[in-house]
Structure 1
Amino acid sequence: MGALPTFDTALAASVLDWWHDAGVDLLVEEEPRDWMAAEPVRPIAFTPPAPTMASATPAMHGGVVALAPAQPTLLPDTLEAFLAWRLSDAAPETAWDGISLAATGPVDAKLMVLVDCPDRDDGDAGQILSGAPGRLFDRMLAAIGQSRETVHIASVCARRPLAGRAPAGLEARLAEIALHHVGLVAPRGLLLLGNAASRAVLGTELISARGHSHELDHKNGKSRAIASFHPRFLIEKPMAKAESWKDLQMLMGDMRG
């Protein structure tokens, strides 16, 4: 008898990450979709957290998405206090394995970048976006005249989830926290890299959010948000770099406007 086949969990996780970054989170949909139809730009309104027991279910009101807080706990109302809280035991990811990684870059940056979660090697490097994805990310920033020293970089999840994706029960809470973070930084431009970041801020899958400029309202003003591919996806699929460059050009156009 032959040996039993082994299951490569690392390979399976890598494949799931690849599809996740591409915006695929289901095999089929119940209703047909017209993929060629143009999608109108919709303003996104962020309601700051309030001490209420309301569930964190997005509610649609005339095309505006308003997120109700999932927990009665108020989030810190200054960026310094919020960043300290984000690494504390009060954060939702505190029970996950690994270490939490802090946001980096200027607190008053005109451009903020939000990714889904730290990569596997980011913990050892001590920063979000390290290794090969980080090197590609640095080149992307350089192409638009930016660098890590000028950009505020954060992630929806402060720690990497076991399967590379936040548990469904925490997605709404993490989205609320990410939106609060954006409101405290109040950047002129916001670059969302990957499907999870697009879902958290825009409430929309990456495949639908790409190619459009989104207006995000928050308590400190407005930001223009652009969704694009995560660098790890671009490494796996280099042909998508041309589309990513279009997204970066749209981002810079918004920031100059």
Structure 2
Amino acid sequence: MAQKSWEALEETCYSCKKCRLWELRTNVVIGKGNPKADILFVGEGPGQQEDLQGQAFVGAAGKLLDKMLASVGLSLETVYITNIVKCRPPGNRDPQEDEKQACLNYLRYQLKLIEPKIIVCLGRVAATTIIDPEFRITRQRGIWFSKKGYDFIATYHPSALLRDEEKKRPAWEDMKAIRKRWDELKGQ
């Protein structure tokens, strides 16, 4: 990926065979939204619907994420949404360490293209991969971290909210905090 472009990233991802996930994929799922967004949301990996459609966050969790964004005045025009891995792990299992490592350079490349100010980790897998391997989502979600010029925060993955209604209130508080931080950064 010598030249810095979305086309180069897509071409490289579509031909990737760095881990076993390519063998079962229907589509590579790179992401969606504003390619120059200030806020980057990162999940763990595509699910079944995402794999079938080649789009990030289009299943039930994606529909909930869209509602969460709208509730604080955000949309695909103001954010970019991607995943740690670009191919679906079988049975929607967590990506394994070698699979995450195979894809991390693609995420880093996306960071260079997007140049976000805020990175939101959706769930434990994204938070332990991006913020800290010892990250505990139930204890550390909603806390801001600064690293390498980015502001990081983690919240519950929308799929966790679909399984556990009690997590919706804390996730709502996190979304308000994300919006507040974005407004502060825009005001500078």
Q: TM-score, normalised by structure 1?
A: 0.63
Comparing both structures, which one devotes a greater share of its residues to helix? 2
Counting only pairs closer than 5 Å after superposition, residues 30-179 of structure 1 correspond to structure 2 as: 76=2, 78-80=4-6, 81-89=8-16, 92=19, 93-163=21-91, 164-179=93-108
Aligned to 1:201: 130
Shift of 1:161: 0.9
Number of aligned residue pairs: 179
Assess if the C-alpha contact under 8 Å between 1:198 and 1:209 holds in 2.
Answer: no
Assess if the C-alpha contact under 8 Å between 1:99 and 1:123 holds in 2.
Answer: yes
Name the % identity.
21
Assess if the C-alpha contact under 8 Å between 2:119 and 2:152 holds in 1.
Answer: yes
RMSD of Structure 2 on Structure 1 (CA)? 2.1
Query: Which whole-Å CA distance do the structure 2 matches of 1:239 and 1:103 have between them?
Result: 28
Moved more, 85-94 or 206-215: 85-94
- CA 1:157–1:150: 2 relative to 1, 3 Å: same
Unaligned residue ranges in structure 1 (runs of 5+): 1-74
Unaligned residue ranges in structure 2 (runs of 5+): none
Partner of 2:86, secondary structure, is coil
Query: Which whole-Å CA distance do the structure 2 matches of 1:166 and 1:116 have between them?
Result: 7
- Work out whether 1:183 is the aligned partner of 2:109: no
Deviations 1:228-252 (A, max 9, x none): 1111110110110111011112212
Assess if the C-alpha contact under 8 Å between 2:37 and 2:79 holds in 1.
Answer: yes
Query: Which whole-Å CA distance do the structure 1 matches of 2:87 and 2:102 have between them?
Result: 14
Query: Which whole-Å CA distance do the structure 1 matches of 2:60 and 2:118 have between them?
Result: 25
Partner of 2:60, secondary structure, is helix
Q: TM-score, normalised by structure 2?
A: 0.83
Query: Which whole-Å CA distance do the structure 2 matches of 1:183 and 1:90 have between them?
Result: 22
Residue of structure 2 aligned with 1:235, choices 162, 170, 175 = 162
